[in-house]
Amino acid sequence: MPLRVRLTLWYGSALALVLIIFSVVLYAMTARNLRDAVDESLEDTATIAVRSLEERGFLPLLNERELLSQFPELARIDKFFQIFSPSGTITISSPNIKHHDVPLSRTALETAFSGHSIFESAKYPNEPPLRVISVPIMYRGNLLYIVQVGTSMETVGETLRRFLILLVVAMPIALAVSLAGGWFLAGRALRPVDEITLAAQRIAAGDLTQRLGMPPAQDEIGRLAATFNNMIGRLDASFRQIRQFTSDASHELRTPLTVMKGETDLILRRPRPVEDYKGVLESNLEEIDRMTRIVDELLFLSRADMGEVKMDALPVALEALVEDVHRQARLLGQDRNIEVVLGTVVPLVVQGDDLRLRELLLNLVENAMKYSHPGGKVEISLLRERQEAWLSITDHGIGIAPEDHKRIFQRFFRTDVARAHTKKGTGLGLAICAWIADLHKGRVEVQSELGKGSTFTVIFPLAPPAS
């Protein structure tokens, strides 16, 4: 069932319920008020009658004419009037009651003897119901008369009947009008949703560059559209990234394959001395090593992407690790005439995986050496900043342009300066570093100026002190 129909139905049912309850309560209250008003007017009339009788010293009334002259309000045709003797028989009654008897009920008589007034309703066939009040007149504790004033409930009944008809007619009309209004409003409110659905279908059909037209209001629908656009944007970016990544990866792997194929083709063209074969095989082995490394790194990154890389979470003494890597790097540096020195190193412990952290540090130190000029100097230092360990590697090499500071962490990205400086490298090292730092809840920051050198700083949260 469409949302619009459901909304309208819900709304209609709730409204109908409210209308019915409202009408019932209104009807009951009106009926009650009308009856109360009748009772009040009966009581007023009775009080006046009783008072007049008292003023006359309770002399017995002789006839109707006398009665009416005494009590002009009794001439009002809507009320009749009777006086009963204590035995319950009528002594006198107003003329407008002539056509039938309204006897005094047992209850009324008993109540009169106890000195109280009583209201009663009476019903005669084919006539509107009557409402009567019976008031005792006492003199020195004895019941002298019972005065009864009554009236027909016809007008009240008629008023209520008309009111009921009004309610019964007006209620469905009100309901119908409201339902139509509800239907219209639900349609209006839901129209942007339909528009979004259509646009989403167009986007789903393949064009990720499309975006939803934004409704002007910052309401629920506006937010939905914004969220949707945001999601499509991310999808678009990540599809682009995947395509870029695949083409980069293929390209990186193709280069060594082309080299190997070219060399092998060439050497097989005619018989050659064993030395030549050996040379080609050695060169091939180098390329195979290179490809193996790329494939290993890609494997690591894709497993990391899927959250499958397992990391130890053991205390690692960073200063020992720094010293190890320094020793290793110093040997490598001797070959390339690059000096690797230790700066300030304070003992610090972080929670993590010793091997991965070593790989991270080595990657950074290797970069620093690789992108230094011959005779350059690389410095490693380890400091504490509040609750963090700051591990910095500084070089005075080729540096990185500011616009590339972010991009160097992307897979396969290498700056042009770096490409010109050395052929070695695939551009995966820093992506891996960023991952390792991330898995240790840390981050890698770069400070670098083109042609002047770079400082890479890895920042880790410190392990909580052993208790």
Ligand X SMILES: Nc1ncnc2c1ncn2[C@@H]1O[C@H](COP(=O)(O)OP(=O)(O)OP(=O)(O)O)[C@@H](O)[C@H]1O
Residues that bind ligand X (CB under 6 A): 367-368, 371, 395, 397-400, 408, 413-415, 418, 425-431, 454
Write the CB contacts of 197 (distance below 8 Å, at least 6 apart in sequence).
none
Whole-number minimum distance, CB 236 to ligand X, in Å?
A: 25
CB of 242 to Mg ion, least distance (A): 23
With CB under 5 to 8 Å by kind, the binding choice for 379 among ligand X, Mg ion, none is: none
Q: Long-range contacts for 242-251 (Cβ within 8 Å, ≥24 apart)?
A: 245/411, 245/412, 248/411, 248/412, 248/427, 249/294, 249/298, 249/412
Q: Least separation, in Å, of the C-beta of 417 and ligand X?
A: 7
Tell me, by CB under 5 A, how many residues bind Mg ion: 2
Per partner kind, with CB cut-offs from 5 to 8 A, the member of ligand X, Mg ion, none near residue 371 is: ligand X
Residue 256 interacting partner from Mg ion, ligand X, none (CB closer than 5 to 8 Å by kind): none
106 Cα distance to chain centroid: 70
CA-to-CA separations, 365 to 292, 321, 322, 391, 402, in angstroms, rounded:
22, 13, 10, 11, 21
Please state the closest distance from residue 327 (CB atom) to ligand X, in A.
20
- Cβ-based nearer residue to ligand X, 315 or 402: 402
C-beta of 88 vs 425, nearer to ligand X = 425
Closer to ligand X by Cβ: residue 135 or 378: 378
Residue 397 near Mg ion by CB under 5 A: no
Give least dist CB 240 to Mg ion, A. Answer: 24
Q: Judged by CB, which is closer to ligand X: 367, or 457?
A: 367
Binding partner at 418 among Mg ion, ligand X, none, C-beta below 5 to 8 Å by kind:
ligand X
Q: Residue 94: name its binding partner from Mg ion, ligand X, none (Cβ under 5 to 8 Å by kind).
A: none
Buried b / exposed e across 267-297, counting CB within 10 Å, b at 16+? beeeeeeeeeeeebeeebeebeebbeebeeb
The residue to which tokens 């279908």 are assigned? 201
Q: What is the CA angle 261-265-271, rounded to 5?
A: 145
**CB distance 399 to 450 below 8 Å:** yes
CA distance 195 to 193: 5
Site for Mg ion in 400-459 (CB under 5 A): 429
For the bound state, the minimum distance from the C-beta of residue 306 to ligand X, rounded and expressed in Å, comes to 21
Task: Give the CB-nearest residue to ligand X.
Answer: 429
Of 182 and 453, the one with the shorter C-beta distance to ligand X is: 453
How far apart (Å, rounded) are the C-alpha atoms in residues 282 and 275?
Answer: 11
DSSP structural state of residue 404: G
End-to-end CA distance of the chain: 62
CA distance 283 to 443: 38
Q: In angstroms, rounded to a whole number, what is the distance separating the alpha carbons of residues 82 and 303?
A: 106
- Residue 461 binds: one of Mg ion, ligand X, none (C-beta under 5 to 8 A by kind): none
Instruction: Select the binding partner of residue 397 from Mg ion, ligand X, none (C-beta < 5 to 8 A, by kind).
Output: ligand X
Q: Residue 415 binds which one of Mg ion, ligand X, none, with CB within 5 to 8 A depending on kind? A: ligand X
SS3 386: coil
Widest Cα–Cα separation across the chain: 163
Q: Which helix (H) or strand (E) holds 2?
A: none
Beta carbon of residue 328, minimum distance to ligand X (angstroms, whole number): 16
Shortest Å distance, C-beta 411 to Mg ion: 12
Q: Which of Mg ion, ligand X, none does residue 395 bind (CB under 5 to 8 Å by kind)? A: ligand X
Nearer to ligand X, 316 or 433 (CB): 433
What minimum distance in Å lies between the beta carbon of 364 and ligand X?
A: 7
- List binders of Mg ion among 338-377 (CB under 5 A): 367
151 vs 457 by CB, closer to ligand X: 457
Give how far the C-alpha of residue 254 lies from the chain's centroid of Cα atoms, to the nearest Å: 50
Specify the residue, 67 or 364, whose C-beta has the smaller distance to Mg ion.
364
Nearest to 436 by CA among 294, 320, 301: 301
Q: Enumerate binding residues for Mg ion (CB under 5 A).
A: 367, 429
